[in-house]
Structure 1
Amino acid sequence: MRTAAQLAAEFGWRRVLAVGAHPDDLDFGAAATLAGLAEAGAHVELCVVTDGDAGGFDSAGPAAMTARRRQEQREAARSLGAAEVHFLGERDGHLEPDHRVRRALVALMRRVRPDVVLAPHPERDWESMQASHPDHLACGEAVVRAAYPAVENPYAYPELAEQGLEAFRIRHLLLYAAPAARRTLAVDVGGWEERKIAALNAHLSQHPDVPGMHRAVRALMARRHREAAGPGAPTGSAEAFHLVTVNHEATFAGF
């Protein structure tokens, strides 16, 4: 098990783009890892695909909830050390990995030019239907399709190249909320737990039971650490991902 800083050094992750379907998805799935990457010197930008207007408590309606949730995500981003938050403005609960969404993601990827892109896993986890919200799956699928081949194909969305957004190759995908069989990387986030909690605390519109949320999040980090470290290992905290290599030194013509 390695820390975010160790992974950044090993894989050369200098620029990071983290994508979530809703405000708070990234904070539940990867906040401690993102904070560790930012602290290690990586440039981190966040993208929220939908406005999250279909969820929450004490709302004056969808427009008010959209404004509130965008502000909450900006506050959470500051807790993590992220440089910028992008909002694509899709409707909560109606997300599809169609060409409009993929084009927007390709444009953003080409603008940020990340070494690694974080996103929800596109495969359903039958052990956690909450983690497998249809918007999460659609977001993950859209990111995967954008990352390969569209972002590196100059003939995909050629109008983007005309705007100066040239094709490039992404090295890695780091997919959170993955089913157990797909988790290939556990990140040691010991020492970063409070940064994750601080980011989640920004999303008060979503948490009628803040202490309960804290207990659940800490318990999940501890469980992911036990799963990775094995029985008898010291207690700790981890976040788990499916690490996918999209391009490496030996990649030729996409194979």
Structure 2
Amino acid sequence: MILTDQGEIEAPARAMVIVAHPDDIDFGMAGTVAALTAVGCHVAYCLATSGDAGGDDLEHTSEELAALRQAEQTAAAARVGVSELHWLGHPDGMVVADLGLRRDIARVIRIVRPDVVICQTTIPDWDRIYISHPDHLATATAALAAVYPDSRNPRTFPELLDEGHQPHTVEELWLIGTEPNRYIDITDTFDAKVAALREHRSQTEHMENLDGRLREWSTETARSGGFADGRLAEAFRVVPAA
């Protein structure tokens, strides 16, 4: 069971997180991932890019940066109980919600066979431009299409059948960044979230008071969800998908 603003709910048996970049998960939903894995849910990650454009230091090649950021994300995933990561290799900063990305995500859905898919929103946030990175929006758009109809329809991308990947129907979508209708208590897993983010040294070492900023955001979210003072939360829009 996991604690939400609506009381305790049964955790899914299997979940899959789909995002654009390394560290997107850990800023957005790593507390929830840790809460899920703590009660036995198997969680897998699917990342559209390897973060090869995520740095201003041109002394490193894009390939070197991609290898570094994959290693950071792998270490961060371990902090919250995740060991299965799928890298799609699309170019960082140039992700397009085309049929190729839809097929690649649908393939991973058919491999992982999750009950729940957790992803970013397709809707820009005009108050917080970082949330509205075009890669985030494109990856989310492709993820939604991969959930419905691509991963469940045997006639979509028949080459996936040739590869041995049978259709799979996802039960629910949990989206971050848009009109939440479920708040998940991460008070007990907040430290794991912070530890995961600290593994992304190339992205977070320069940030002052990272713990404090995360705690402030999580406190505001918990307050919006009606939790008692001192609780911490992450927020999602839950959409039935079956």
Which TM-score band (shorter chain)?
A: over 0.9
Residue 236 of structure 1 deviates from its aligned partner by: 1.1
Residue 102 of structure 1 deviates from its aligned partner by: 0.5
AA at the equivalent of 1:125: D
Residue 183 of structure 1 deviates from its aligned partner by: 1.2
Residue 208 of structure 1 deviates from its aligned partner by: 4.0
CA contact (8 A) 1:122 1:138 kept: yes
Tell me, in whole angstroms, the C-alpha distance in 2 between the residues paired with 1:143 and 1:114: 13
The match for 2:239 among 244, 249, 252 is 244
Tell me, in whole angstroms, the C-alpha distance in 1 between the residues paired with 2:35 and 2:181: 19
Tell me, in whole angstroms, the C-alpha distance in 2 between the residues paired with 1:163 and 1:86: 17
Q: What is the aligned partner in structure 2 of residue 97 from structure 1? A: 97
Structure 2 gaps of 5+ residues are: none
Tell me, in whole angstroms, the C-alpha distance in 2 between the residues paired with 1:42 and 1:175: 18
CA contact (8 A) 1:224 1:238 kept: yes
Q: What is the aligned partner in structure 1 of residue 47 from structure 2? A: 48
Residue 191 of structure 1 deviates from its aligned partner by: 1.0
Residue 83 of structure 1 deviates from its aligned partner by: 2.7
**What is the total number of aligned residue pairs between the two structures?**
238
- Give per-residue Cα distances to partners, 1:214-247, cap 9 Å, x unaligned: 22211110110011117xx322100011111111
Tell me, in whole angstroms, the C-alpha distance in 1 between the residues paired with 2:37 and 2:145: 26
CA contact (8 A) 1:57 1:205 kept: no
Q: Which moved more, 1:79-88 or 1:202-211?
A: 202-211
- Give per-residue Cα distances to partners, 1:142-197, cap 9 Å, x unaligned: 10010001111110011111222111211001111x23xx2111101111110000
Matches within 5 A, 1:73-112: 73-112=73-112
AA at the equivalent of 2:143: V
- Give per-residue Cα distances to partners, 1:80-115, cap 9 Å, x unaligned: 101311111111110011011110000000010000
Tell me, in whole angstroms, the C-alpha distance in 1 between the residues paired with 2:103 and 2:15: 19
Q: What is the aligned partner in structure 2 of residue 227 from structure 1? A: 224
Instruction: Give secondary structure in 2 for the equivalent of 1:114.
Output: coil
TM-score, normalization: structure 2? Answer: 0.94
Q: Which moved more, 1:50-59 or 1:104-113?
A: 50-59
Q: What is the aligned partner in structure 1 of residue 209 from structure 2? A: 212
The match for 1:194 among 186, 191, 195 is 191
Instruction: Give secondary structure in 1 for the equivalent of 2:143.
Output: helix
CA contact (8 A) 2:117 2:173 kept: yes
CA contact (8 A) 1:226 1:235 kept: no
Tell me, in whole angstroms, the C-alpha distance in 2 between the residues paired with 1:29 and 1:203: 14
Correspondence 1:14 to 2:13? yes
Instruction: Give secondary structure in 1 for the equivalent of 2:212.
Output: helix
Among the aligned pairs, what percent are the same residue? 35
AA at the equivalent of 1:196: K
AA at the equivalent of 2:31: A
Instruction: Give secondary structure in 2 for the equivalent of 1:45.
Output: strand
Matches within 5 A, 1:19-168: 19-56=18-55, 58=57, 60-168=60-168
Structure 1 gaps of 5+ residues are: 248-255
Instruction: Give secondary structure in 2 for the equivalent of 1:65.
Output: helix
Residue 57 of structure 1 deviates from its aligned partner by: 5.4
CA contact (8 A) 2:76 2:195 kept: yes
Tell me, in whole angstroms, the C-alpha distance in 1 between the residues paired with 2:240 and 2:75: 31
Q: Which moved more, 1:142-151 or 1:121-130?
A: 121-130
Instruction: Give secondary structure in 2 for the equivalent of 1:103.
Output: helix
Q: Which moved more, 1:153-162 or 1:202-211?
A: 202-211
Residue 211 of structure 1 deviates from its aligned partner by: 3.7
- Give per-residue Cα distances to partners, 1:112-135, cap 9 Å, x unaligned: 000001111111111211111110
AA at the equivalent of 2:133: H
CA contact (8 A) 1:18 1:46 kept: yes
Residue 77 of structure 1 deviates from its aligned partner by: 0.6
Tell me, in whole angstroms, the C-alpha distance in 2 between the residues paired with 1:227 and 1:62: 40
CA contact (8 A) 2:173 2:240 kept: yes
Instruction: Give secondary structure in 2 for the equivalent of 1:148.
Output: helix
